[in-house]
Structure 1
Amino acid sequence: MPELFIELFSEEIPARMQARAAADLERLVREGLTEAGLEIGESRAFAGPRRLVLVISDVPHKTPDIVEERRGPRVDAPEKAIQGFLRATGLSLDQCDIVADEKKGPYYVARIERPGRPTEAVLQELLPDVIRRFPWPKSMRWGARRLRWVRPLHSIICLLDGRIVPFELEDIPVGRETRGHRFMAPDVLSVTGFADYEEKLRKAFVILSGAERARIIRARAEQLAEEAGLELVEDEGLIRETAGLVEWPVVLMGSFDESFLDVPEEVIITTIRSHQKCFALRRKAEDGGGLANRYLLVANLEAKDGGQKIIEGNNRVIAARLSDARFFWEQDLATPLEERVPELDRITFHAKLGTLGDRVRRLEALARDLAPFVDADPEEAAFAARLAKADLVTEMVGEFPELQGTMGKYYALKSCVPPYIAQAIEDHYRPQGPSDRVPDQPVSIAVALADKIDMLANFWAAGEKPTGSRDPFALRRAALGLIRIVLENGIRLPLLPFLQDRVRLSPAFSGDDAEAEAIARDLLGFIIERLKVHLRESGVRHDLIDAVFGLGDQDDLLTIVRRVKALENFINSEDGQNLLAGFRRAANILRIEEKKDKRTYEGEPNPQLLIAGPEKKLASAIRQARANVKKALANEDFEAAMAALARLREPVDTFFDKVTVNAEDPTLRENRLLLLSRIRDVARLIADFSRIEG
């Protein structure tokens, strides 16, 4: 079947938008063709600096024929109803069928045949609509055009089985012509299909696949680094970005004066990355390590001089940028970090939450309170919290906001602050993503926890909770960061009192203690939901998570996770599976009988009514299990609690084998239902077993 090939050729598309744009083009066109009734084959989308491309295989020549049946009025219906039906269907009476119906009598049926439409006609309607409503994050108009696009759109290729599908879209030409590399092959190319297009583009110095361009950049960068006896500073994000900036990647090596290496290496890496999209290089460990005064750039052409002029131009620009960075570094060092803290009072953090200075004072108090829970010195934790935001008013962080925390560490060290305090300044923002490391030193942990708890509690108090996909203050990230810090460091922390206290002390809060508790509990629920997501992503069954969370009133994240893990191990054992079946059977009987009797069976069964054998044995086993489970839970020995529960397996099985619960004697029946309720109660000490599947 025919191939559909589309190219949208424009001025340079920002690299950060390309992957999403290719996916959107593929999605919108596929959706449109599918809605038209076309069953299409596989599709591939590509994006580059100047083009979006889509190719779809096995596209039918036309949409399928449709036969629609429409039921009409009865044969003996009033003439007016029959005529209305005929007008609606566009048929005459002799073109309608009559269908018998024993109950309602015979009625008319119209069978309307709609022939399929040519795919070309579908595309002529679909593609202009897709282009006009394309979801660019930012778009604009050029000249007299009404069309909004990310950059000026120059031409469109639309070929179906090699034939042009013509359509009108303002003054933009639609045909089979494109262009190669802007400088090395600027002439017009005429193509017959996707394979011909890809081949001709490569000859015209354009590599269509962004993934291939990235592979070339990575491989060549590593090769050049190795030839120079250096190592590439890994930066996958920059590899993807540069792959979106060039059509024909050529990696070159430049250099800068060694004197710039006196500046912290993070500053150099950030400077050359942000301004020139260049890769930093590092000396190998056997050569002493540390940053080298070399870098790699990605050019978009093969220059006749081997790229020498390109390198020289980049060297000049990078030297100027690094001179600026060194100036910022030297200016910032003139003022000790602690002397910058009062400047934070002049910067608004949030309209409802005061200044950055107010936030720092809250962090000091909170870090001091958290310190005993993480084995940190309270005064050291408070001191680190006091300095944590001071680098926000430095020249360097003003130029490179992504260096906040990192520069604070360097300035603190230059101010003779102990290294672990300086490290806490850098670490308190962490983790900033799933792959970022978690602080693991006591003072760092205290300040990082304080930062996240303060963020969450104060924004909750201010009514600034995340909604749907909107999370402008990154509160989901803060909650996940808090969770990872607690779990990966094995911290026992009762969250609710801290949350409630922070809400109560928030500048945005003016209610009473009951209202503060309600807000804190709502926030705890949000954190618990993030914990559920975190556990599910780590492979824990969702039903086991729900079974533990079903107990309610839990705010110690570490204890919750340990309980979930112990339950998972128990349920995966043979005893756990068999006992789960017994618990489920008991719970089902109770649910049915409680609904029928319109009452709840709770409390101890009458021991005088227990018949010797299975009933007495089960009652005794439940009492023993209950005592053992409570003792184990008090010691937070969840494995022992599960083992105590597992010993109920045999008496529960025997009870159901030998005893009829719904005895004819109502007194015996009630007593046995009470006995079953004790099985349910002892299980609830550990988890809500009714939520466990399978």
Structure 2
Amino acid sequence: MTTANLLVELFVEELPPKALQKLGDVFAGVLHSQLAAQGLAASDAQVTAYASPRRLAAHITGVLAAAPDRAVQHKLMPVAVGLKDGQPTPALLKKLAVLGAGPEAVAGLQRLADGKAEVLYLQSTARGSALAAGLQKALDEAIARLPIPKVMRYQLADGWSSVNFVRPAHGLVALHGSDVVGDVQALGLTAGRATHGHRFEARTEPVLLQSADTYAQQLQDEGAVIASFAERRAEIARQLAAAAAQLGGGVQPIEDEALLDEVTALVERPNVLVCAFEEEFLAVPQECLILTMKANQKYFPLLDAEGRLTHRFLIVSNISPQDPSAVVEGNERVVRPRLADAKFFFDQDRKKTLVSRVPLLDKVVYHNQLGTQGQRTERVRAIARAIGTQLFEALAERHDIDGTQDAEVVQDYLMTCVDNAALLAKTDLVTDMVGEFPELQGVMGAYYAVNDGLPDDVAFAIEDHYRPRFAGDALPRHNVGLVVALADKLETLVGMFGIGNLPTGDRDPFALRRHALGVIRMLIEKDMPLALPALLDAGAQAFGALIDAQAVAPLADFIYERLAGSLREQGYSAQEVEAVIALRPARLALVPQQLDAVRAFAALEQAPALAAANKRVGNILKKAEAEGPVDPHVNEELLREPAEKDLYAALTRFVPEADAQFERGDYTASLQTLAVLRAPVDAFFDDVMVNTDELALRLNRQGLLKRLHQAMNRVADLSRLAV
């Protein structure tokens, strides 16, 4: 079979930059998978995707000119239906005719067993697809399956027809080796070998491709285009680093992978240039300047060795003139009004205090069922006060509040900060700066709080109460910020669950999953001595009659589900996680210690037997408790069998020690202490009948098992470890 490398390119108008890389990968991937499915390409063929602002292309190695013929087996019908006295029935002849075979094929039919019956099969040969036909099918499928953000409809050159695509297409290339794959069409275009290079800097126009393998090199040499997204991205990163290095002083371009991807999708021939703006703009918070340069202009701000913004920035131009001064001056002229706007917003916002903006929140709708941002602020304040009271009292008890001062004074100060931060946390939503740049909410609130002379604890809390914003984001820095962040997220969770606005499999418009994970991370990673039920109760009380308190009940399950998923992602086994989460631990901060204890216990020789016994005990008690609660107290006088006496003695001896270790937080030692119960537990189940007919004896033995079950399952539900 003749093989050669295949190149397919679709030349279009400027593609959406944020979708470009994915469009290129999908285009190449679907082309290859469709050709492989037709036998025209190997499943392990090397596939190279190309994507530039005006093209999607794919290079696939070892593509056949025609797929090999293949044997096909057609199941016809049972022998009893198809043959009567050795002769074909009308039903069989009709079936053969549909498959293109005549009566002469009857003699060659195979008889194969299919269950209890024999079935007739027809063996035939299917001709392999020619490349032109196979590529047409693959190309149609690749275009249909592109993840296009928004389709546009445009008219073709004939003036009558129209097609739907992401952008108007103007060229199609299909080369098998050096030969054009004839008759392949798409979007009103017929395949050829001509493509186009850079709009202004191409050496030849059009670029006539010699073969599939010369595509990238010809585009670079003749068309002044780097076709590969990855190579273009690497070249931009290299030029950015080189330009910063030439400036010296440890200056570095800001790291932003999303911005680098977007700029890569905007240029065909990158050329990095250094620009500057007036240093007076550095008086504006650098977050504002960085955001306006990145979001509006796609520039790369330069930071000094300490991470402070400098007055220089880098641009990625799509042209490379001999004298770049006009390009530099043009970009400096364009960015100046943007920075001036930021400075104006900042200066204007500072003329009003955050406190004076609080009434304006009553005019901002939060949710049609949950009221305004002003009402929401009052709920967050109530939740924050409840959390702060719990937290600071617990910290004072374990001496985590500065011991050099009076504890009550410190607590009063922190509670005042909590209340002020919760009151002012959303006020920057009604500032000009955040109105222009919503991404700066919280950040600008902190700057304005400092401008108003508020304590750093309040300013930090205003900025940090949105944290963590995403997976891996930093947590609030101090306790005041932690309290307000918890209150803010709990208000959202409780409120949305309270009105039945729950996330679905593919929709979570209020980011409830992210909020739940944020609550989990803060409680665990900051070792907060807070109980989840108390937090949820504080959240529900803040809403009063506005929500259905019963509708909030599933919220706890939702949080434990997110916790279980997070723990599995961290490497804990499903059994370990289930064992701990089954107890619905109130203090999430202790969960990692419980998991470590379960893992250590599971490694013990006694663990499998004790887990199985624990499961058996649970089943016995479940049946017994269907008739009423089981009393865990044991009457020693009713202990008759040696095995039950030995188990009771072991419990009496070792459970107090295990309980003391549990109370100290040494969960691993607690479980290992209880591991010695294996022998008396095994003997008990071998020698003692629990559900005896004698009522007093039965209740006493159930009580003994209840006591065992309570002792064994304080750290985790060990029955979940049973195989």
User: Same-fold call, TM > 0.5?
Assistant: yes
Aligned mates of 2:609, 2:141 — CA distance in 1: 60
Pairing 1:284-363 to 2, within 5 Å after superposition: 284-285=305-306, 290-305=308-323, 307-363=324-380
Deviation at 1:507, TM superposition (A): 8.0
1:481 counterpart (518, 542, 555):
518
- Residue 68 of structure 1 is matched in structure 2 by 73
Q: Does residue 686 of the first structure (1) align with residue 691 of the second (2)?
A: no
- Say whether the 8 Å CA contact 1:98–1:106 is kept in structure 2: no
Q: Does residue 235 of the first structure (1) align with residue 273 of the second (2)?
A: no
- Residue 406 of structure 2 is matched in structure 1 by none
Aligned length: 675
Aligned mates of 1:261, 1:595 — CA distance in 2: 69
- Say whether the 8 Å CA contact 2:370–2:546 is kept in structure 1: no
- Say whether the 8 Å CA contact 2:72–2:123 is kept in structure 1: yes
- Say whether the 8 Å CA contact 1:154–1:173 is kept in structure 2: no
- Residue 506 of structure 2 is matched in structure 1 by 469
- Say whether the 8 Å CA contact 1:500–1:520 is kept in structure 2: no
Deviates more, 1:481-490 or 1:684-693: 684-693
Q: Does residue 7 of the first structure (1) align with residue 12 of the second (2)?
A: no
Percent identity over the alignment?
A: 34
Q: Does residue 118 of the first structure (1) align with residue 130 of the second (2)?
A: yes
Aligned mates of 1:563, 1:595 — CA distance in 2: 25
Q: Using a 3 Å threshold, how does the CA distance of structure 1 residues 508 and 183 change in structure 2: closer, same or farther? A: farther
Deviation at 1:99, TM superposition (A): 3.2
Q: Using a 3 Å threshold, how does the CA distance of structure 1 residues 508 and 259 change in structure 2: closer, same or farther? A: farther
- Residue 302 of structure 2 is matched in structure 1 by 281
**One-letter identity of the residue aligned with 2:136:** Q
**Where do 5+ consecutive residues of structure 1 fail to align?**
none
1:172 counterpart (173, 177, 189):
189
1:568 counterpart (565, 576, 599):
599
Q: Using a 3 Å threshold, how does the CA distance of structure 1 residues 87 and 509 change in structure 2: closer, same or farther? A: farther
1:95 counterpart (74, 83, 105):
105
Deviation at 1:637, TM superposition (A): 3.4
2:420 counterpart (364, 383, 386):
383
**One-letter identity of the residue aligned with 1:390:** T
Aligned mates of 2:121, 2:617 — CA distance in 1: 54
- Residue 549 of structure 1 is matched in structure 2 by 581
Deviation at 1:62, TM superposition (A): 0.9
- Residue 404 of structure 2 is matched in structure 1 by none
- Say whether the 8 Å CA contact 2:617–2:709 is kept in structure 1: no
Deviation at 1:395, TM superposition (A): 0.9
Aligned mates of 2:114, 2:186 — CA distance in 1: 57
Q: Using a 3 Å threshold, how does the CA distance of structure 1 residues 45 and 671 change in structure 2: closer, same or farther? A: farther
Aligned mates of 2:420, 2:358 — CA distance in 1: 11
- Residue 410 of structure 1 is matched in structure 2 by 447
- Residue 179 of structure 2 is matched in structure 1 by 163
- Residue 140 of structure 1 is matched in structure 2 by 152
Deviation at 1:400, TM superposition (A): 0.9
Aligned mates of 1:616, 1:535 — CA distance in 2: 41
Q: Using a 3 Å threshold, how does the CA distance of structure 1 residues 356 and 107 change in structure 2: closer, same or farther? A: closer
Q: Does residue 433 of the first structure (1) align with residue 470 of the second (2)?
A: yes
Deviation at 1:172, TM superposition (A): 2.2
Aligned mates of 2:657, 2:589 — CA distance in 1: 22
Q: Using a 3 Å threshold, how does the CA distance of structure 1 residues 671 and 423 change in structure 2: closer, same or farther? A: closer
Q: Using a 3 Å threshold, how does the CA distance of structure 1 residues 617 and 593 change in structure 2: closer, same or farther? A: closer
**One-letter identity of the residue aligned with 1:205:** A
Deviation at 1:405, TM superposition (A): 0.8
Aligned mates of 2:179, 2:57 — CA distance in 1: 17
- Say whether the 8 Å CA contact 1:45–1:55 is kept in structure 2: yes
Aligned mates of 1:37, 1:595 — CA distance in 2: 60
**One-letter identity of the residue aligned with 1:231:** Q
Aligned mates of 1:299, 1:392 — CA distance in 2: 35
**One-letter identity of the residue aligned with 1:642:** L
- Residue 19 of structure 1 is matched in structure 2 by 21
Q: Using a 3 Å threshold, how does the CA distance of structure 1 residues 368 and 193 change in structure 2: closer, same or farther? A: farther
1:477-530 deviation line (CA, Å, top 9, x unaligned): 11111111111211122222432443455388454xxxx1x4333111111111
Aligned mates of 2:115, 2:448 — CA distance in 1: 91
**One-letter identity of the residue aligned with 2:22:** R
- Residue 562 of structure 2 is matched in structure 1 by 530
Aligned mates of 1:661, 1:6 — CA distance in 2: 78
- Residue 215 of structure 1 is matched in structure 2 by 234
Aligned mates of 1:4, 1:584 — CA distance in 2: 60
Aligned mates of 1:299, 1:67 — CA distance in 2: 57
Match of 1:9, SS state, is strand
Cα RMSD, aligned residues only: 3.6
Deviation at 1:588, TM superposition (A): 7.5
Pairing 1:568-587 to 2, within 5 Å after superposition: 568-571=599-602, 573=603, 575=604, 578-586=605-613
Q: Using a 3 Å threshold, how does the CA distance of structure 1 residues 365 and 44 change in structure 2: closer, same or farther? A: same
- Say whether the 8 Å CA contact 1:120–1:160 is kept in structure 2: no
Pairing 1:486-635 to 2, within 5 Å after superposition: 486-503=523-540, 505-506=542-543, 509-511=546-548, 516=549, 518-552=550-584, 554-571=585-602, 573=603, 575=604, 578-586=605-613, 612=642, 616-635=645-664
Aligned mates of 1:125, 1:340 — CA distance in 2: 62
Deviation at 1:219, TM superposition (A): 2.6
Q: Using a 3 Å threshold, how does the CA distance of structure 1 residues 461 and 95 change in structure 2: closer, same or farther? A: same
TM-score normalised by the chain length of structure 2: 0.84
Aligned mates of 2:205, 2:241 — CA distance in 1: 33
- Residue 187 of structure 1 is matched in structure 2 by 205
**One-letter identity of the residue aligned with 1:316:** R
Deviation at 1:266, TM superposition (A): 1.0
Deviates more, 1:40-49 or 1:498-507: 498-507
- Say whether the 8 Å CA contact 2:52–2:268 is kept in structure 1: yes
**One-letter identity of the residue aligned with 1:314:** N
Aligned mates of 2:573, 2:535 — CA distance in 1: 30
2:169 counterpart (150, 153, 156):
153
**One-letter identity of the residue aligned with 2:382:** A
Deviation at 1:591, TM superposition (A): 9.6
Deviates more, 1:329-338 or 1:177-186: 177-186
Q: Using a 3 Å threshold, how does the CA distance of structure 1 residues 509 and 122 change in structure 2: closer, same or farther? A: farther
- Say whether the 8 Å CA contact 2:232–2:270 is kept in structure 1: yes
Deviation at 1:586, TM superposition (A): 3.2
Q: Using a 3 Å threshold, how does the CA distance of structure 1 residues 319 and 677 change in structure 2: closer, same or farther? A: same
Aligned mates of 1:550, 1:447 — CA distance in 2: 29
Deviation at 1:651, TM superposition (A): 5.1
Aligned mates of 1:124, 1:231 — CA distance in 2: 48
Deviation at 1:295, TM superposition (A): 0.9
1:313-363 deviation line (CA, Å, top 9, x unaligned): 011111111111111111111111211111111111111111111111111
Q: Using a 3 Å threshold, how does the CA distance of structure 1 residues 488 and 282 change in structure 2: closer, same or farther? A: same
- Say whether the 8 Å CA contact 2:638–2:700 is kept in structure 1: no
Aligned mates of 2:505, 2:22 — CA distance in 1: 20
- Say whether the 8 Å CA contact 2:93–2:102 is kept in structure 1: no
- Say whether the 8 Å CA contact 1:544–1:692 is kept in structure 2: yes
1:56 counterpart (53, 60, 71):
60
